[in-house]
Structure 1
């Protein structure tokens, strides 16, 4: 029979686990039973609060990747971007839980959100900002080496620049998948042709799905395709 060791870390909580993880604070951040307009508010809050934590980690990892890019260390940057991609995949996966939130259940507490909207998510805002910084930093690195994205893709897949470029594309792709899932869930819950909590048409989310955070890496694919023999034939074919 095991016995618990006494807590030695400072802070609130009866165990060192509680003190290090700050579980007392963490588990108090959701509305209590008496505060909820509907029991499913807890589902809604937990999914979104967990997403903010994952976005915080994503921002941290991509910030470290930026530091490695500044130090001309693409391999180290790639590993951290890979982590961010996996984190974002988990954020996307947890959105599936909201499929258990039915329209009438959400309508019962929707007014409790006030004018709050996912557009105001600090984690998502940080994601947009840091991917812009990454795009600039990667372009700056290529320029300093005198190569273009097409040069990178004409090189060996084992090359650190090639690997990093592909991982950035994977991040961009995962962002699009997150946006697609977000739109799908939103319309499943509140329907098409309606306004979100910010009075923004819910169907406007579809325009964001094709937005690219690393456009030059996608443009390189188009250029390579059009420069191929089949691509040249397609351009010359009569319409």
Structure 2
């Protein structure tokens, strides 16, 4: 009968054939702590989930570099296709956070001791993703607004035609929305793991995460919706006659 050590050896030293060689599995599978050195049974999943997050963010950033190039060229088909990939990746990142909710608060506290003074706020992929939307906006604005003599209001309201400018703008909006959802899910994860009233490993209130979850990359694309609704309300009335009274009168 195989022992636990036997299984650990098979996990840590798998047979390497062409597929494993191509994927550098010998290196990939040693990017985590040795199984015998884990502080508890959940530390492996903690490391793997966060390492995979970094890989997804690397792919997102790599894809957004091409998106910026295609925005500058006003190649809308490629912009939409590649942003669709980014949207799927953002959903994957958000969904996999749920795996970490299988840890108990006690087990998470043990893992936190292994981080030294580090925290998720130092994530290299996340920090880069926070910077790239500024370049996305500049490229979009140059090609799809200024380059076409349009404003955001034109695209969404006064000259709305569901054309290239609108489609590209909505691709950016969806990315922004999905990023906000990712950050919001992270807040719920922190709340479940350590509580929102606690301090982070940097000594800062975890409540700061909530402020981050409300951050918008493309405020102009969000604000135009509120402006349109306010203008609509001014024209049609914020409060209108209830339709059930009209229906009763008609009968």
TM bracket, shorter-chain basis? 0.7 to 0.9
- Number of aligned residue pairs: 222
Q: CA deviation at 1:234?
A: 4.2
2:58 maps to 56
2:173 maps to 169
8 Å contact from structure 1 (residues 225, 231) kept in 2: no
> Is 1:45 the equivalent of 2:47?
yes
Which segments of 5 or more consecutive residues in structure 1 lack a partner in the other structure? 1-12
- Which range is displaced more, 209-218 or 73-82? 73-82
> Is 1:187 the equivalent of 2:200?
no
> Is 1:29 the equivalent of 2:43?
no
> Is 1:212 the equivalent of 2:219?
no
8 Å contact from structure 1 (residues 95, 181) kept in 2: yes
8 Å contact from structure 1 (residues 59, 127) kept in 2: yes
SS state of the match for residue 197, structure 2?
A: coil
**RMSD between superposed Cα atoms in Å:** 1.7
2:93 maps to 91
TM-score for the superposition, normalised by structure 1: 0.88
> Is 1:144 the equivalent of 2:144?
no
Residue-by-residue CA offset, 1:42-67 (whole Å, 9 max, x unaligned):
01001100000000111111111001
8 Å contact from structure 1 (residues 51, 91) kept in 2: yes
Q: CA deviation at 1:109?
A: 2.4
> Is 1:127 the equivalent of 2:113?
no
TM-score for the superposition, normalised by structure 2: 0.84
Residue-by-residue CA offset, 1:115-137 (whole Å, 9 max, x unaligned):
11111111111111111210121
2:161 maps to 156
Mapped to 1, the partners of 2:237 and 2:230 lie a distance apart of 9
Which segments of 5 or more consecutive residues in structure 2 lack a partner in the other structure? 1-14, 240-251
Change (3 A) 1:134 1:44: same
Q: CA deviation at 1:35?
A: 1.9
**Higher Cα Rg, which structure:** 2
Q: CA deviation at 1:229?
A: 4.5
Mapped to 2, the partners of 1:111 and 1:91 lie a distance apart of 24
Mapped to 2, the partners of 1:196 and 1:174 lie a distance apart of 24
Q: Which runs of 4+ in 1 moved over 3 A?
A: 229-235
Q: CA deviation at 1:75?
A: 2.4
Q: CA deviation at 1:81?
A: 1.2
- Which range is displaced more, 79-88 or 14-23? 14-23
